[in-house]
Amino acid sequence: MVRCFGACWPRAVRMQNDKEKNLKIAKRMEQAASRILKEGGSQERGDDARLSTLVGAIAISDMVKTTMGPKGMDKILQSVSGGMNITNDGATILKSVVVDNPAARVLIDISRVQDETVGDGTTSVCVLAGEILRQAQQLLAKRMHPMTIIEGFRAATDVALKTLESIAVDHRQDATAFHTDLLNIARTTLSSKILTSVQEHFAKMAVKCVLNLEGDTNLKNVQIIKKPGGTLLDSYVDDGFLPRQAYRSLLPQGNI
C-alpha cells in the first residue's frame, strides 16, 4: 500500500497541475475573446451557437418561401430613406436584407451566385437550403453527430444527381423536339414574370436569341436596346447588330 501511494501521488499531483493549467488557458482565451467583441456583443458556444446559426438561416428561408409559386405573395420593401418597392423576386428581397447571422449571410450569397450564374431560381435555392438546414436541426436535436449528417447529405446529393441523369432526355439529334424543349423552358421561365400576357412571343424571341449564339454563354454578346413607344409585341430579335446612330466616315474630307 505504501509503494502504491508513493507511486500514485506524483501522478495525481501532475494531473491536478495540468487541470489547473488548462483552466487558466481557457480563462485567458475567454478574456481575449471578450476584448475582441464590440461593446454590447455576446459570445455563444457549442449547441447554443449551432442552434442560433441554424435558426437565422431558416428564418431567411421562411421569409422568401411565401413568394414562390403561382400563388406567391409580393413583399413590400421599405428603405431607410422611406422609398418603397413591391416585388416577389427572391434576389431583390435578399439584397435588401441586412443580417449579421453567418448562416443567413451564406444563404444570401447562395442566392446572389445563383442569380449571377443562372439568372433565375434565386428563391428556390434559398428555400431548398433552408429546408436542408431544418432537417439538420431535427437530427442534431436527436444527438446525431454533425459529420454523420454531412455524410448523409453528400450521399443524398449523389443519389439525386444519378436520378436526374437517368430520367434526362437528350433531343440534340432531333431538331424539332429540341426546339420544342427550348420553347417549353422559356415559357416556364416567363410564367412568373410580367410578360405572361405575351409569353409566347417572348419565348420565341428567347429561343431564337439562344440559337443565334450557337452555344456561346457570354451574355455580353446579347445587346438589349430599349426604345420608347410601341407595344411589347413590337419587340424583335435582329440577327446582326443595331447601332444607335449612323456611323460617320473615318476618311478625311478630300479636296476637289
- HSE-CB at 46 with a 13 A cutoff on CA atoms is 3
What are 147's three cell numbers? Answer: 459529420
Residue 161 has a pLDDT of 95
What are 33's three cell numbers? Answer: 475573446
- Domain residue ranges in the chain: 46-144, 175-217
Residue 2 has a pLDDT of 42
**Which residues of the chain carry a pLDDT beneath 70?**
1-49, 192-193, 241-256
CATH number 1.10.560.10 given to 46-144: yes
* Radius of gyration in angstroms for the set of CA atoms belonging to the chain, rounded to a whole number: 30
Rounded Cα distance, 67 and 54, in Å = 21
Among 168, 131, 169, CA closest to 153: 131
Residue 11 has a pLDDT of 52
- Whole-prediction pTM value? 0.62
User: What phi and psi, each to the nearest 5 degrees, are found at residue 54?
Assistant: -65, -40
Residue 243 has a pLDDT of 64
* DSSP E strands, 176-256: none
